[in-house]
Amino acid sequence: MSYFEIAKTCFVDEVNVDNYVELPGSQKAYDELEMFLEKPFKLILLYGEPGTGKSLLLSRILDKKKYQKEIHYFDSPLLEEEEFFRKLFNILIQKPMPKNTKVDFNTFVEFCKAIKGQREIIILLDEAQLYPKKILEQIRILSDTGVLRFVISLHKTTDEDVIAKTHFRTRIWGTIELKNATKEELKIYIHQKLLRFNQFEIASQIKPKHINFIYKVTKGNFRECSKLMYTTFEIYQYYEKHDPSQFNRDKFSQKFLEMAAIAIGAIDV
Amino acid sequence: MYDIPELEKKWKRYKRNKIKKPILITLSTLTLGAILFLGATQYKRFFPQNSTSNTTSQQAPVVKKEPQKPLQRKEAVSPLKEEEKAIIIKKTPIPKAANKSDDIGIDLSNATIVEPDVPDDEIRVIGFDKNEKKRVEKEYKMLLNPQKKKPKIDPIVQEYQERFTQSKDPQDALYLAKYFYKKRKYQKAEIWAANANNIDGELEDSWLIFAKAKARQGHRVEAIKILQEYYDSTASPKAKELLDKLRRNKPF
Q: Which of A8-22, B97-111, B232-246 has the highest mean pLDDT?
A: B232-246
Report CB contact under 8 Å: B11, A204: no
From the CB of residue A97, how many other CB atoms can be counted at a distance below 10 Å? 16
Question: How sure is the predictor about B77, in pLDDT bands with cuts at 50, 70 and 90?
Answer: very low
Report CB contact under 8 Å: B14, A200: no
Residue B47 is predicted with a pLDDT of 72
The answer on pLDDT for B54 being more than 50 is no
How close, in Å, is residue A243 to chain B by CA atoms? 11
Mean pLDDT score of chain B? 74
The answer on pLDDT for B113 being more than 70 is no
For A24-64, how does the pLDDT look when each residue is reduced to its tens digit (9 = 90+)? 888 899 999 999 998 888 889 898 888 999 999 999 999 98
Please indicate, yes or no, whether residues A52 and A116 belong to a single structural domain of this protein.
yes
Please indicate, yes or no, whether residues A124 and A186 belong to a single structural domain of this protein.
no
ipTM of the complex: 0.77
Report CB contact under 8 Å: A269, B14: yes
Please indicate, yes or no, whether residues B140 and B167 belong to a single structural domain of this protein.
no
Q: Which of A150-154, A225-229, A247-251, B17-21 has the highest mean pLDDT?
A: A225-229
Mean pLDDT across B148-165: 76
Residue B81 is predicted with a pLDDT of 52
Residue A18 is predicted with a pLDDT of 76
- Structural domain includes residue A199: yes
DSSP element (H, E) containing A235? helix A222-242
Question: How sure is the predictor about B159, in pLDDT bands with cuts at 50, 70 and 90?
Answer: confident
How close, in Å, is residue A35 to chain B by CA atoms? 21
- In terms of phi and psi (left: phi > 0; alpha: psi -120 to 50; beta: otherwise), the region of A117 is left
Report CB contact under 8 Å: A198, B182: yes
- Structural domain includes residue A186: yes
- Structural domain includes residue B78: no
- Structural domain includes residue A19: no
Residue B118 is predicted with a pLDDT of 59
Mean pLDDT across B66-78: 47
- C-beta separation of A153 from A126 below 8 A: yes
Question: How sure is the predictor about B162, in pLDDT bands with cuts at 50, 70 and 90?
Answer: confident
Range of the domain at B33: 9-46
- Structural domain includes residue B149: no
Residue B29 is predicted with a pLDDT of 92
Range of the domain at A72: 24-178
- Structural domain includes residue A268: no
Backbone angles phi, psi at B54, to 5 degrees: -60, -40
Interface membership of B2 toward A (CB under 8 Å):
yes
How many residue pairs from chains A and B have C-beta atoms closer than 8 A? 52
Residue of A nearest to B175 (CA): A195
Report CB contact under 8 Å: B156, A191: yes
Sign of CA pseudo-dihedral A213, A214, A215, A216: positive
Mean pLDDT across A150-172: 67
- Structural domain includes residue B187: yes
Surface of B (29-68) touching A: CB under 8 A: none
- Structural domain includes residue B59: no
Please indicate, yes or no, whether residues A257 and A170 belong to a single structural domain of this protein.
no
- Structural domain includes residue A159: yes
* More confident of the two residues B177 and A163: B177
Of A178, A199, A222, the last residue of a domain is: A178
Counting Cα atoms < 13 Å in the Cβ hemisphere of B154 gives 16
Interface membership of B241 toward A (CB under 8 Å):
no
Surface of B (149-168) touching A: CB under 8 A: 154-156, 159
How many angstroms separate the CA atoms of A26 and A20, rounded? 10
Report CB contact under 8 Å: B8, A259: yes
- Structural domain includes residue A129: yes
Residue B79 is predicted with a pLDDT of 52
Mean pLDDT across A225-247: 93
Please indicate, yes or no, whether residues A193 and A247 belong to a single structural domain of this protein.
yes
